[in-house]
């Protein structure tokens, strides 16, 4: 999206005199190229560097369950094209979205017969369960090609009101092992959310979500934070607990004096006064009431991240999740979800708040600021700073997990 496709840098003229490689530190002034500062690449995290299309052997949310009906729906996930449709039993099935006859997307077709999908071109018809070619409409009932062709099928699950597709080896891991544990523990909850296709590689989105530094500055102008002061800067460390890494706030500073420049604060007279104590639930202050389900989990920090790109932001009365689903090399699917564990009248209260404000203010305008930054991020090279320990710890987590990068050539696979 943001990749520039201008003319390549000019090659040096053949007759140009090449200077010998510099030894020792380069002078700070003078003629000649300066030694590049900062990180020039992500070779410190090789598998992460290769995971342009994400990691294999994970479940990825791709659509709301309500969006998938009998009519085929095409999605791209980790570079793989998948067609989704509900079978005879109402369950969602997934097949490779490419007709083996001449390569037309099956998602452009329809269910001529329940439990099948027919390609729109010549009517090759595939069983949604298993992908076997079970009829060829334009070749009669005795078409000899029937039963000899199969399109790849994908494991599909429905959880949290979302359709999840397994990208990886044929035998999927249980999906509950991958979902946030507080959502599989049996406590009832209500969920509201948004799904967008956004520009930028999924890793930029993931790093943005977990980035310690940006929220206080980038989001200070968001409507969602109109009446709440954002900190100026924090001192943070990262803790790993199980499969999650947590940002833990050691110090929260609401203003700072920058020598020779002046004081900077996000506090304004109309905003809630910042608290004196350091806190680790939410990012604008201590809460009077913490939901008992949230309190029960005793999250060590309010922002946590796990593979394959699941962000969890814990607030006193709700939890916000972001799932960053690779689409192609330069776009991702943003799945934002907010969960409230209230029961009884609190369900109606949450739905009203979500539809009346949160959806537009938080999942819309606030998150739109992230969307903007993710789309224009261009790294490496990069010169990291102290808060970026959040980014480097995430990259290390990916490497240490042994997760397998999705091969880049999967985009061109025709099988
Ligand atoms: Fe699909 Fe011909 S391309 S039936
Ligand atoms: Fe943000």
Domains of the chain: which residue ranges?
A: 58-156, 186-400
What is the CA(368)–ligand 2 centre distance, in A?
9
pTM: 0.88
What is the CA(117)–ligand 1 centre distance, in A?
12
CA atoms within 13 A on the CB side of 159: 18
Q: Are 195 and 63 in contact (CB under 8 A)?
A: yes
What is the CA(210)–ligand 2 centre distance, in A?
8
In Å, what is the CA distance from 2 to each residue of 53, 373, 377? Answer: 17, 11, 8
How many residues would you count in the chain?
415
Q: Give dist(CA 315, CA 364) in Å, integer.
A: 18
> Taking Cα atoms as reference points, which of 222, 192, 389 lies closest to residue 305?
389
pLDDT at position 299, please?
Answer: 93
Which atom belonging to ligand 1 lies closest to the Cα atom of 123? 4
Atom 2 of ligand 1: nearest residue by CA position? 122
Q: Give dist(CA 247, CA 340) in Å, integer.
A: 22
- Specify the range with the lowest mean pLDDT, choosing from 15-24, 282-291, 339-348: 15-24
Look at domain 58-156 and name its CATH class. mainly beta
Which atom belonging to ligand 1 lies closest to the Cα atom of 109? 1
pLDDT at position 410, please?
Answer: 85
Q: What percent of the chain has pLDDT over 70?
A: 88
Average pLDDT score over the chain = 89
> What H or E segment, with its residue span, contains residue 47?
helix 46-50
What is the CA(115)–ligand 1 centre distance, in A?
18
Q: How many CB atoms lie within 10 A of CB 74?
A: 14
Which atom belonging to ligand 1 lies closest to the Cα atom of 122? 4
Q: What is the mean pLDDT of residues 149-164?
A: 98
Q: Has residue 213 got a pLDDT over 70?
A: yes
280 pLDDT band, cuts 50/70/90, is low
pLDDT tens for 25-66 read 444 555 666 777 888 999 999 999 999 999 999 999 999 999
pLDDT at position 33, please?
Answer: 66
pLDDT at position 2, please?
Answer: 33
20 pLDDT band, cuts 50/70/90, is very low
pLDDT at position 12, please?
Answer: 32
What is the CA(136)–ligand 1 centre distance, in A?
9
Report phi then psi at 191, rounded to 5. Answer: -125, 135
pLDDT at position 167, please?
Answer: 98
Q: What is the mean pLDDT of residues 190-219?
A: 95
Q: What is the mean pLDDT of residues 181-195?
A: 95
Pocket test for ligand 1, best of 122, 126, 145 (most atoms within 8 A of CB): 122
Considering every ligand atom, which ligand is closest to the CA of 369? 2
Atom 3 of ligand 1: nearest residue by CA position? 102
- Specify the range with the lowest mean pLDDT, choosing from 9-23, 193-207, 315-329: 9-23
Look at domain 186-400 and name its CATH class. alpha beta
What is the CA(212)–ligand 2 centre distance, in A?
9
pLDDT tens for 348-381 read 999 998 898 888 888 888 899 999 999 999 999 9
Q: How many CB atoms lie within 10 A of CB 212?
A: 22
- Of residues 76 and 286, the one with the higher pLDDT is 76
Considering every ligand atom, which ligand is closest to the CA of 311? 2
């Amino acid at each position: 999206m943001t990749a520039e496709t201008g003319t390549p840098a000019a090659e040096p003229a053949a007759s140009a005199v090449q200077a010998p490689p510099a030894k020792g530190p380069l002078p700070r002034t003078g003629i000649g190229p300066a030694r590049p500062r900062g990180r020039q690449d992500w070779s410190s995290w090789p598998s992460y560097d290769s995971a342009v299309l994400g990691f294999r052997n994970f479940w990825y949310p791709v659509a709301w369950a309500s969006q998938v009906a009998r009519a085929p729906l095409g999605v791209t996930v980790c570079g793989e094209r998948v067609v989704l449709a509900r079978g005879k039993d109402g369950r969602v099935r997934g097949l490779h979205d490419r007709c083996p006859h001449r390569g037309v997307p099956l998602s452009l077709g329809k269910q001529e017969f329940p439990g099948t999908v027919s390609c729109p071109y010549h009517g090759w018809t595939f069983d949604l369960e298993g992908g076997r070619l079970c009829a060829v409409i334009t070749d009669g009932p005795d078409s000899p090609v029937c039963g000899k062709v199969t399109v790849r099928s994908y494991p599909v699950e429905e959880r949290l009101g979302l359709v999840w597709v397994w990208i990886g080896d044929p035998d999927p891991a249980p999906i509950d092992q991958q979902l946030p544990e507080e959502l599989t523990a049996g406590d009832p909850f209500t969920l509201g959310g948004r799904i967008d296709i956004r520009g930028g590689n999924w890793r930029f989105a993931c790093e943005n979500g977990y980035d310690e530094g940006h929220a206080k500055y980038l989001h200070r102008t968001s409507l969602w934070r109109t009446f709440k002061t954002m900190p100026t800067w924090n001192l943070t460390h990262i803790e790993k607990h199980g499969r999650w890494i947590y940002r833990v706030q050691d110090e929260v500073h609401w203003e700072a004096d920058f020598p020779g420049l002046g004081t900077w604060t996000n506090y304004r007279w109309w905003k809630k006064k910042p608290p004196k104590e350091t806190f680790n639930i939410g990012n604008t202050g201590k809460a009077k009431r913490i939901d008992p389900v949230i309190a029960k989990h005793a999250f060590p920090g309010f922002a946590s991240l796990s593979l394959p790109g699941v962000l969890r932001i814990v607030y006193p009365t709700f939890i916000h999740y972001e799932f960053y689903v690779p689409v192609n090399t330069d776009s991702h699917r943003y799945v934002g979800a907010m969960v409230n564990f209230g029961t009884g009248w609190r369900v109606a209260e949450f739905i009203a708040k979500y539809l009346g404000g949160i959806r537009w203010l938080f999942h819309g305008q606030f998150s739109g600021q992230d969307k903007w930054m993710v789309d224009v991020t261009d790294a490496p090279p990069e010169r990291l700073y102290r808060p970026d320990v959040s980014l480097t710890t995430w990259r290390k987590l990916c490497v240490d997990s042994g997760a397998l990068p999705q091969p880049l050539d999967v985009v061109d696979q025709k099988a």
